[in-house]
């Protein structure tokens, strides 16, 4: 059965949810960039050591992840196929940062709520990419 070229209501709801999620990511990234001392105050000594030992490229890749994700959501709302590529760029950046955090030992020293975000970020990044691909395959994006 062919799909209508007009997106269903659930498309708009999901696109807005993904947009809000990525805006939260921008907020977290901005806080880390502008006020790292605030972040450090809430960390244990072990977490502070890991935080300070991150390589210089980490925050750039983190920024790529959140800004590409945000732009992908905006492109979804404007029904543009560029959302697929931007969501894939975001996903790759998320995989890089998540892998770095996992292999540097972060998993063992973060609390339960942080573990939730640690797992939800890559999961939602995959979902965003699949959602954009699905919308493109249904000809909802141009």
pLDDT of residue 3: 57
Q: Is 77 helix (H, G, I), strand (E, B) or coil?
A: helix
Give the HSE-up count for residue 15: Cα atoms under 13 Å, Cβ half-sphere.
Answer: 24
pLDDT, tens digit (0-9, with 9 covering 90-100), for 29-84: 999 899 888 878 888 888 888 888 889 999 999 999 999 999 999 999 999 999 99
The per-residue b/e assignment along 20-42, b for 16 or more CB within 10 angstroms, e otherwise, is ebbeebeeebeebeeeeeeeeee
pLDDT of residue 4: 65
Q: Quote the percentage of the chain above a pLDDT of 90.
A: 66
The stretches of the chain forming alpha helices (DSSP H) are: 9-34, 36-41, 45-52, 57-77, 82-103, 112-137
């Amino acid at each position: 059965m062919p799909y209508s070229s007009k997106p269903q209501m659930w498309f708009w709801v999901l696109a807005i949810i993904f947009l809000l999620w990525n805006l939260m990511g921008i907020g977290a990234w901005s806080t880390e960039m502008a006020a790292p001392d605030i972040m450090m105050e809430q960390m244990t000594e072990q977490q502070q050591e890991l935080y300070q030992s991150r390589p210089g490229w980490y925050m750039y890749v983190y920024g790529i992840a959140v800004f590409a994700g945000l732009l992908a959501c905006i492109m979804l709302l404007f029904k543009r196929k560029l959302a697929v590529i931007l969501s894939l760029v975001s996903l790759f950046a998320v995989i890089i940062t998540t892998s770095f955090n996992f292999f540097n030992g972060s998993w063992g020293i973060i609390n339960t709520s942080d573990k939730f975000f640690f797992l939800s970020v890559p999961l939602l990044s995959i979902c965003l990419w699949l959602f954009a691909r699905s919308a493109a395959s249904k000809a909802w994006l141009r």
